[in-house]
Structure 1
Amino acid sequence: MKQVTFASRHHQLTNTQTWTPDSQWLVFDVRPSGASFTGETIERVNIHSGEVEVIYRATKGAHVGVVTVHPQEERYVFIHGPEHPDAHWQYDFHHRRGVVTHNGETRNLDAMDITSPYTPGALRGGSHVHVYRPDGQAVSFTYNDHVLHERDVALDLRNVGVAVPYGPVTPRGQHPREYAGSHWCVLVSRTTPAPAPGSDEINRAYEEGWVGNHALAFIGDTRSLQGEKVPELFIVTLPENEAGWKQAGREPLEGTSSTMPAPPASVQQKRLTFTHQRAYPGLVNVPRHWVRANPQGSDIAFLMRDDNGVVQLWLISPQGGEPRQLTRTANGIQSAFNWHPSGHSLGCVVENRIALCDGITGTVTYLTEGHGNPPSADAVVFSPDGQYIAWMEAVDGFRQLWVTETRR
């Protein structure tokens, strides 16, 4: 294994799509941790030479982070906080946006309109953790709403959205914090503040992953009959043309002053897992993970406890059915994970080492030994050519980037 960054500062990988398409560069931000948002640059490091380049530098008091890369070209999307933050408007879940940098030009991905009547295709709050779909033609994100946050924080439910290249979208600009965006953006999940106990209703949608190019899986928080939170796996099927993305259902795409923006008419939300009666109900939130479909789109992987309470990898078909326990590790999966580009295995942290889990048998093969500190649980990411895997690990108190060969 090889340390590829060497500096008295932190280097933060996003949970997926952190490599350039040629598998030569790792892209990162410089936040001290995943929970803080004080970094001013988006950078990349060549894994062979150690050369570091600054891709983008924020100005006017703004901060940036959580960068991912387009699967076919050197196009970068990341979170951008507000310029000129003040006591009334500063970085928060509902005060951030996606921006795209390509060939030195940076543009807003999503538009914001917080003045009624709202603009279809614009958001009314903050988008974050932007991930390109496999063909690079759309971007998923999670979302929080400024309009409802101002009305009642309890109404600002996290949701999943998609940006598609059918813009630009330009609000009327009645508020100084509104802005235009290059893409048409809509929410694709449905939430409700008080899910009925035992129902398929959810009050939070998060940690999404693409299933092919026309579906997204995500975790949704249901309520048990006793009223306890049980995270379950959901999937939404998505429109395949511009008309479908722009056709509203019974509720407006742009939302109202009292309701969240609504999905397009054709978007169907379906629950895939039903775990309320298990000994350990629900998908786990620790370690934090993002659900991931294999490149073939035939299996969705997620983390759930087995009957002994140990966190394992599980698989389920996008069509539903019974989940299949993949791993049977003694002490559990310790991190977020990703599929190898071949779809034959998954990479994660097991026993404080970087490991490959066979996608059929669940057999664990260790790629590393003797870590100075345990690998971070936040990100274990394969290069597009499948030859390398990257992660974060503390060195002298600073989070550094590491890679090793996969031997695959």
Structure 2
Amino acid sequence: MMYIFPLLSILMVMFDVQEKNNMERRIDSLTRSDIGHTLHHNNVFSPDNNWIVFDGRNDDTKIGETSSIGMVNVHTGEERLLYKTANQTIYGPGVGAASFSPVEDMVVFIHGLYDADSVKPYDITRRFGLAVNMYNPMVGMPMDARDSHAPYTAGALRGGTHSHCWSGDGRLISFTYNDEFVDPDLRMVGVMVPTEEPVVISSLEENNKGKKYAAIVTDVVRDPLPGSDEISKAFDECWVSSHTNYTIAFQGNTRNEEGETITEIYLVDIDPARILQDSSAVGKEGERPRTPDGIRQRRLSRTLKGLSDLRHWLRSDGRYVYALAKDDDNRNQIVQCEVSSGRFTTVSDFDFSISSPINMSHRGDKITFVANNNIYLFDLAIKKSVMLTSNSPEDLKIVGAPVFSRKDDMIAFNQYAESNGNEYIQIKIVHLCD
């Protein structure tokens, strides 16, 4: 009998540990309505951590056909409509890719041109960023001005902005851009910066005013010189720093000495004052907008194979930029590039391949991603990963990028779920504990 109580104590401790582990990995199905609930790849949680914003897509490729932006309460599952397009058809206008400001109750998202039709449908060159206050739904504020009639207005663009990302202080917004009239296939990175007065545009067809001043901050050329630092595409960026000193890291397609296209990491420092001073950067008819005087990109990484061709966005903790690159077995691994030196290191050694974009915790200590239809959490300090879900390959598919909450206490992700004989993209939450 003298051994019974120690044994019971051990069993109770084991039960407590197991119970704690179950709590740490509790998964809730947050949305259930028969619509799509697609998450953007960044900033989907409200500043107070209580709401998640989503768009109504049930297919990642269908922004042009999507009419609604909504949000869901992480505690109650209540869904609210934030914005709905007027006169929506399969040709547009279309909305999608919504993200919260980190400091205001404001959401920015892609909006197609209002006059979209079968002749001029939603397109990568025909969209802009629209913002809505969560407490004033349906009232949209264009963030970037569009001026499609020369002579062009400084601070306006004439193509399409996409994948908007707030700086950490919420003052600036980065985006990717495709011009409508000159080299529409050459993607660039741009920013919107605060201005004392909105950018006012003449009320001609396909024009709109903008709350912020927009400019392109990357130089691209159609045929980069092999072995040079020239790029033919700038894309899928992130903010490296966001308070007083603004820096963007972005992916750039360049050519190695053999003339092969590889993707490297580039940096560009953003000086809002310089951007506002160079009104001629808007460009003239027949040319693309150019980078303002004093805004110049620089190459950070120099590798043999470059980054992975799996679409993903760079992430940074200020000291390092994180990305995906292929190992010798063609598996996507996490890599880091030191901002101060360009030193490039592979930090993971998984026996599987990452299959989604990555996201970094706000503390900068962990990275989340999808592999083998499951959500993983990777600890950068100890270089260990934990599988947070338990799906089989046959289970309904996880899609998109998992996203950390503002407090790093939750990870939101998208997974298809069956309802009334159909499959809908729903939002699920993994609850984490420190």
The answer on whether the counterparts of 2:128 and 2:161 sit within 8 Å (CA) in structure 1 is yes
Match of 2:202 in 1: 172
Q: Pairwise mapping of residues 336-351 of structure 1 onto structure 2 (< 5 A)?
A: 336-351=357-372
Match of 2:58 in 1: 32
The answer on whether the counterparts of 2:194 and 2:213 sit within 8 Å (CA) in structure 1 is yes
Q: Distance in 2 between matches of 1:232 and 1:161?
A: 18
Specify which of 365, 368, 373 is matched with residue 389 of structure 2.
Answer: 368
String of CA shifts for 1:41-99, please: whole Å, max 9, x gaps: 10011122111000111113332111000002210000111223234432100101101
Q: Find the residue that maps to 1:320 and give its secondary structure.
A: coil
Q: Pairwise mapping of residues 94-109 of structure 1 onto structure 2 (< 5 A)?
A: 94-102=125-133, 103-104=135-136, 105-109=139-143
Q: Distance in 1 between matches of 2:342 and 2:321?
A: 12
TM-score (norm 2): 0.86
Instruction: Give 4+ residue runs of structure 1 displaced > 3 Å after superposition.
Output: none
Match of 1:151 in 2: none
Specify which of 104, 118, 137 is matched with residue 171 of structure 2.
Answer: 137
String of CA shifts for 1:369-408, please: whole Å, max 9, x gaps: 23633422x2110110110001111112221111111223
Identify the range of structure 1 (309-318 vs 182-191) with the bigger mean alpha-carbon deviation: 309-318
Specify which of 334, 337, 354 is matched with residue 333 of structure 1.
Answer: 354
Q: Find the residue that maps to 1:336 and give its secondary structure.
A: coil
The answer on whether the counterparts of 2:157 and 2:282 sit within 8 Å (CA) in structure 1 is yes
Q: Find the residue that maps to 1:211 and give its secondary structure.
A: strand
Query: Which runs of 5 or more structure 2 residues have no equivalent in the other structure?
Result: 1-26
Higher fraction of helix: 2
Q: Distance in 1 between matches of 2:79 and 2:202?
A: 40
Specify which of 306, 311, 321 is matched with residue 332 of structure 2.
Answer: 311
Q: Distance in 2 between matches of 1:216 and 1:45?
A: 30
Match of 2:31 in 1: 5
Query: Which runs of 5 or more structure 1 residues have no equivalent in the other structure?
Result: 149-153
Match of 1:356 in 2: 377
How high is the sequence identity, in percent, across the aligned residues?
32
Q: Distance in 2 between matches of 1:124 and 1:226?
A: 36
Q: Distance in 2 between matches of 1:186 and 1:83?
A: 22
Q: Find the residue that maps to 1:379 and give its secondary structure.
A: strand
The answer on whether the counterparts of 1:10 and 1:30 sit within 8 Å (CA) in structure 2 is yes
String of CA shifts for 1:111-148, please: whole Å, max 9, x gaps: 11122221110011111111110000011111111121
Q: Pairwise mapping of residues 6-405 of structure 1 onto structure 2 (< 5 A)?
A: 6-37=32-63, 38-61=65-88, 62-102=93-133, 103-104=135-136, 105-148=139-182, 154=183, 156-166=185-195, 167-173=197-203, 175-213=204-242, 214-239=246-271, 241=272, 243-248=273-278, 252-275=280-303, 278=304, 281-286=305-310, 288-294=311-317, 297-370=318-391, 372-376=395-399, 378-396=400-418, 397-405=423-431
Q: Distance in 2 between matches of 1:361 and 1:193?
A: 43
Aligned residue identity for 2:432: T
Aligned residue identity for 1:5: T
Aligned residue identity for 1:199: S
TM-score (norm 1): 0.92
Q: Distance in 2 between matches of 1:406 and 1:270?
A: 38
Aligned residue identity for 1:77: V
Q: Distance in 1 between matches of 2:170 and 2:158?
A: 24
Aligned residue identity for 1:200: D
Match of 2:8 in 1: none
Q: Find the residue that maps to 2:342 and give its secondary structure.
A: strand
Identify the range of structure 1 (349-358 vs 75-84) with the bigger mean alpha-carbon deviation: 349-358
Assess, with a 3 A threshold, how the Cα gap between structure 1 residues 156 and 257 changes in structure 2: closer, same or farther.
farther
String of CA shifts for 1:142-179, please: whole Å, max 9, x gaps: 1111121xxxxx45411001011114111234x31111
Aligned residue identity for 2:430: T
Identify the range of structure 1 (364-373 vs 258-267) with the bigger mean alpha-carbon deviation: 364-373
Larger Cα-atom Rg:
2
Q: Find the residue that maps to 2:282 and give its secondary structure.
A: coil
String of CA shifts for 1:215-249, please: whole Å, max 9, x gaps: 0011111123333221111110110x4x3222339
